[in-house]
Structure 1
Amino acid sequence: MTTSSAGTHTVYVRVPATSANLGPGFDTLGLALSVYDELEVTALAPGELEIDVTGTGADDIPRDESHLIARTIRYCYEAVGRSAPGLRIVAHNGIPHGKGLGSSGAAVAAGVLAAKGLLAGQAELTETDLLRLATELEGHPDNVAPALFGGLTIAWTENGAPQHKKLLVHRGVAPVVFVPDHTMSTSTARSVLGAEVSREDAVFNVSRSALLIAALTQSPDLLLSATDDKLHQERRAQAMPETFALVSALRARGFAAVVSGAGPSVLVLADGPGRRLEAADVAEEATGGTWQSHMLAVDFLGGTVRTAEDVTMEFPHAGS
């Protein structure tokens, strides 16, 4: 832990974007992607709060006690029976907000990692603690698990506690995300889902989810069939017709396209870099060039927390 001349402690945090569901893995599967939020968090005297945000969505983020990362850090301190310090949070956001790329989950993951770093030497937060605390705040582990741990994650609840398994993704899987200029709230996207599904649809998604694990880890050539879904995507079409139209156009051309998280962005899991370029051409034609394409990699590291001695060029925006 770093101590400045003023007696403060500073940690640096980076967390990746995520895409949840991946088609059939509703509320279960998540993938970490190479777009990042970066933060510098300093412990101050109790009661002090300073927040500086740049990057995506900065104008819409509160600078008071309602700030999600600040609330998360305080929550973690309370969970271990410690009094929370004042905070200076300097953030650069790279993850788009309200686009289905896990921005709120990333903020919560960043908060628990910052708390872990600030509490070093006072209280220990294990991986199990991090996932539990993040899930308590976020509500679902499928976004926070890949943000915390990276790679492809399977998340589930056992005896009331969130669990996860991290898997390495086949090097032939090449993600590309298409992002529109409009947003979609998770609550709105969930409001159109029915309370029941047929046995036939449930069996269909169980089979596709199992196949998707094999496709992502061993056989990328199976991704188109493996990303088919009957639980949530078509039901959400009425809430985001442009998203559903793009997914349909891409899948008709043989691309493994899915709604990213709750939408409205579209994720394509291409089976090679060249196929990503072809998918981008299809998306440009289908949307009239109004959606941005982002050629990404799978993030295998997940969220990181460092002290000042550890900071390198990995954090180009820290302290800006």
Structure 2
Amino acid sequence: MKQFKISIPASSANIGPGFDSAGLALNRFLTLDVTEQEEWEFEHKSHFLPSFTDYADHFIYKIAKQTADRHQKTLPGCKVTVASEIPLARGLGSSASAVLAGIELANQLCGLSLTGEQKLQYGTDIEGHPDNIAASLFGGVVVTATTQNNQVEYVRLTSLDLDVVVCIPDSELKTETARSVLPANFSRKNATSASAITNVMIAALLSGDYHVAGKMMENDLFHEPYRAELIPNYENIRRKAKAKGAYGTVISGAGPTMISFVPKGKGAYIREQMEAGLTGYTIAGLQIDQTGLQVN
């Protein structure tokens, strides 16, 4: 009887101007404990997980079946116990984690021997953009691009000497709503300026100049100016985090969570300072997860 455990980290995408391109893995996890048996069965052990009525309607099962069908394989029955530390619709990559869970579930059950690149491509085909998928898959900070032939290329940055603090509101924000406020087109002048800010941010992260990286994060032109009105306490959180020593604070993914990049070792202090006077939020000091998807 086959038994295994799949663990997938949360993720934060964009990092300000790295819109639909840059992402990082965070040490909150979606986990699946899997045991083969005759019939399919899902059991949830977290209030963060959505309800379901039948295994065939379960999102992770649908992705697993889609992946198995892609390889002309049939999924054997199993019991899947799912636990999650990743809140839904908060900009922390819950959807990407679930997509990867389904892909890896099929990979293990059907013996597909998928490469990391194949998992990234499959996940991107489903999600529509690679940033969250790549970060949760490979861990660390990952910069991605989709080429004209729909192939995904990625570069994983070396370990960054940073802590992160997230401000997670009690309210949700659907990605579709956050995307609906974005402009359909940019002028060449605006696109050039926005791209230059992204380039400097990535270069600053690579060189360890986190003060410049933070400044660039907070000068995004691609999405934050349009989404700010949808994010509770957007300016208040940015000002407060900066005053307490954060390098920069941006929207995590599509929001409404805000994520601050802070000096290594200062995460706990800044988290405590951010809690004062900010009600209706969960404030968490997190680490950048360096391992990504794991199977045991």
Q: TM (normalized to structure 2)?
A: 0.91
| Change in 2 beyond 3 A, CA 1:253/1:235 | farther
Q: 1:107 aligns with which of 92, 95, 98?
A: 98
Structure 1 residue identity aligned to 2:101: A
Q: List gaps (5 residues or longer) in structure 2.
A: none
2:129 corresponds to which residue? 140
2:223 corresponds to which residue? 232
Distance 1:264 1:212 in 2: 22
Cα shift readout 1:26-75 (whole Å, capped 9, x = no counterpart): 00000001111111123444xx32110112423x3324222111111111
| Change in 2 beyond 3 A, CA 1:61/1:262 | same
2:180 corresponds to which residue? 191
Structure 2 residue identity aligned to 1:118: L
Deviation at 1:246, TM superposition (A): 2.1
Cα shift readout 1:169-199 (whole Å, capped 9, x = no counterpart): 32x2111111111111111110111112233
Deviation at 1:205, TM superposition (A): 2.3
Q: 1:150 aligns with which of 113, 135, 139?
A: 139
Deviation at 1:208, TM superposition (A): 2.2
Q: 2:51 aligns with which of 30, 50, 61?
A: 61
| Change in 2 beyond 3 A, CA 1:232/1:165 | same
Deviation at 1:84, TM superposition (A): 2.0
Deviation at 1:134, TM superposition (A): 1.2
Cα shift readout 1:82-102 (whole Å, capped 9, x = no counterpart): 112223210111111111000
Greater Cα offset, 250-259 or 34-43: 250-259
Q: List gaps (5 residues or longer) in structure 1.
A: 307-320
Number of residue pairs matched? 291
State the identity as a percent.
32
Q: 1:128 aligns with which of 98, 117, 121?
A: 117
Q: Is the 8 A contact 2:139 2:291 kept in 1?
A: yes
| Large movers: runs of 4+ above 4 Å | 251-254
Distance 1:254 1:225 in 2: 13
User: Are positions 1:271 and 2:263 aligned together?
Assistant: yes
Aligned pairs (5 A) from 1:304-319: 304-306=294-296
- Report the secondary structure of 2:228's partner residue: coil
| Change in 2 beyond 3 A, CA 1:204/1:169 | farther
Q: Is the 8 A contact 1:192 1:239 kept in 2?
A: no
Structure 2 residue identity aligned to 1:232: H
Q: 1:223 aligns with which of 199, 213, 223?
A: 213
Distance 1:111 1:98 in 2: 19
- Report the secondary structure of 1:27's partner residue: strand
| Change in 2 beyond 3 A, CA 1:63/1:151 | farther
| Change in 2 beyond 3 A, CA 1:300/1:288 | closer
- Report the secondary structure of 1:111's partner residue: helix
1:203 corresponds to which residue? 192
Distance 1:234 1:135 in 2: 26
Q: Is the 8 A contact 1:49 1:88 kept in 2?
A: yes
User: Are positions 1:76 and 2:67 aligned together?
Assistant: yes
| Change in 2 beyond 3 A, CA 1:66/1:162 | farther
- Report the secondary structure of 2:212's partner residue: helix
Q: What is the CA RMSD across the aligned residues, in angstroms?
A: 2.0
